A and B are shown apart, each in its own frame.
Chain A
Amino acid sequence: MNVSGWILALGQTALLILLAPLLSGWIKWVKCKFQNRRGPIPWQPYRDLAKLFRKEVVMAQQASPLFRATPYLVFSVTVLASSIVPAFAVGLPTAVIADVIVMVGFFALARFFLCLAGMDLGTAFGGMGASREVTISSLTEPAMLLSIFTLAMTFTSTNLDAMVLHTLTQPFQIYPSFIFAGMSLLLVGVAECGRIPIDNPATHLELTMIHEAMILEYSGRHLALLEWASMLKMLIFGVLICNLFLPWGTALHLEPTAIAVGLLTLGIKLMGIGFVLAASESVLAKMRLFRTPELLSLAFIIALLGMLGHVILEVH
């Protein structure tokens, strides 16, 4: 591939990394507006991260090298996952390196190390958070894979780039199975990012926290990296859902105007999805932990319905 393609690909990944705190801040801001609060400015997460990076790292004496390595590992794996998502242009050279199953694998790898680090110090919260995280992920992963397989069967490819390209170049048509795959992926995204019906990112209440419980022992730059990684993961899910189901506007050719249009539409789509997420979080209450399997099995059933719908209605 040509050099400009690689530069663009690197630029796209860098953009996603830099944009991640902004999306998180935007969601928080919209949510505050919904609840009649003034709310922090949308770029507040950048300040938080900068503050954490300046702070000293405090670590327990018993911490093993694994505990020390996990933040760097989780962050770099999430960055790798973000590099294979087509954000504002298709046909970038990084897209052919890995497909969507590898992306799910990246998330699983990051989660594995995060759980190990949670249990490393032997504190009660870390172990509890890790066990909850594993329980939930064992329910979300099949639903996510199934909804992705539904898309893959329609496009006869598991490559994200090829999927987006296919939707953009083919004449417009309604796929019933996509509605279900989209709904399922939304539910999975909410569960994976630890958003409201499953987990509340804003509290440290011991009864409810999942993701926050695992990273409770981290401080300083380690905590900053983990927070940043989880923001990036949410951005990846947002971009994925936007671009798989509403890919219009994404640049087909690597030209300046097309890329500008791609960037603009990506921004609008992300703002839209952030708005929807904030609205749903203001309306819904957090679910009891023991009821989350019901919601996630609903996500699985919807994904299964999408696949059945594809087989029954779309294959002739």
Chain B
Amino acid sequence: MNFTVLTLAEQIILTLAALMLFTSFLLLAQTRLLTLIHIFALQGALLFATTLVIAFTYGRHHLLISAALTLGLKVFFIPIQLQKLVTRLDIKREVEVVGNPSLIMFGAAALVLFSYYAVLPIRELSMLATRNTIAVSLAIVLLGMLLIISRRKAVVQVVGFMCMENGLMFAAVAATQGMPMVVEMGVALDVLVAAILFGIFFFQIRTEFGTLDVDKLNLLKEVD
């Protein structure tokens, strides 16, 4: 165990990684929609902090733009948009029905373990001290997927999708110190477009089916 040789910045990045994983677990445990969106914003803030620390420590100044994009989009724009949507669709008070909460949590813990073993060979390729974060980011992606399949409300599924994107972004920033600028811009734009599209789709689903419960999408409907 040579944890001591790490610099302070690396320790902070590892701690932020652990906290990001924790927010993913909180997302899975949370049953209220508004709190869920707030936790998602918190995860974005953690991602922002990680990007900032890496940008300053390793002198990758193009990461600052990426950090600003993260702050603007994932901490403020998308959560505020989602919150507005939830208020306008009047599903604020709706408590989500989850399968079996403890079972899902244990499944999530198993996913973390799985992602640790899955990235063991990849870890060997990297010489960075923060290479261990690859396992964490894969776990965040998988937990986002679990969030999508374990919930019935469409809003939560969007949050799960964004959470997966957070995990990918975290892997790019923490494990390889950032992607080329063009790719990052593209990803940010993608997320923005996705958020807007989802917003429009919510209204469509709502007017068509009268609910945001995706189970109801299975019902056949006569086309006039």
Given A180-B22, A313-B133, answer yes or no on A305-B109 (Cβ-Cβ < 8 Å).
Answer: yes
Residues of A within 8 A of B18 (CB): 176-177, 179-180, 305, 309, 313
Residues of B within 8 A of A311 (CB): 116
Chain A: CB-nearest residue to B16? A176
Q: Assess the B136–A312 pair: CB atoms within 8 A.
A: yes
A209 at the binding interface (Cβ < 8 Å): no
Q: Within 8 Å of chain A (Cβ to Cβ): is B11?
A: yes
Given A304-B109, A308-B112, do A170 and B4 touch, yes or no (CB 8 Å)?
yes
Interface magnitude class on chain B: 20 to 34
Give complex CA distance A204, B109 in Å.
Answer: 39
Among A173, A294, A305, which residue has its beta carbon within 8 angstroms of that of B21? A305
B138, chain A: closest CB distance, angstroms: 10
Smallest beta-carbon distance B90→chain A, Å = 26
User: Is the beta-carbon distance between B133 and A297 smaller than 8 angstroms?
Assistant: no
CA distance A170 to B2 in the complex (A): 12
Do residues A309 and B21 form an inter-chain contact, with CB atoms below 8 A? Answer: yes
A side interface size, CB within 8 A = 26
Tell whether A283 is near chain B: CB-to-CB under 8 Å: no
A interface, by DSSP: helix, strand, loop or mixed? helix
**Known A173-B6, A301-B25; contact A313-B14, beta-carbon cutoff 8 A:** yes
A57 to chain B, nearest CB (A): 44
Question: Do B116 and A308 have beta carbons less than 8 Å apart?
Answer: yes
A205 at the interface (CB under 8 A from B): no
Shortest beta-carbon distance from B97 to chain A in Å: 15
Partner of B1, one of A297, A298, A312, A315: A315
Determine if B17 and A313 form an interchain contact, defined as CB atoms under 8 angstroms apart.
Answer: yes
Q: Within the assembled complex, what's the spacing in Å between the Cα atoms of A307 and B29?
A: 19
Closest to B22 in A: A305
Q: Which residues of B contact A206 (CB under 8 A)?
A: none
- Chain B residue nearest to A314 (CB atoms) is B3
Q: How far is the CA of A154 from the CA of B109 in the complex (A)?
A: 20
Besides A174-B12, A308-B109, A314-B14, 7 other A-B contacts (C-beta < 8 A): A173-B11, A176-B14, A297-B102, A302-B22, A305-B25, A312-B132, A316-B132
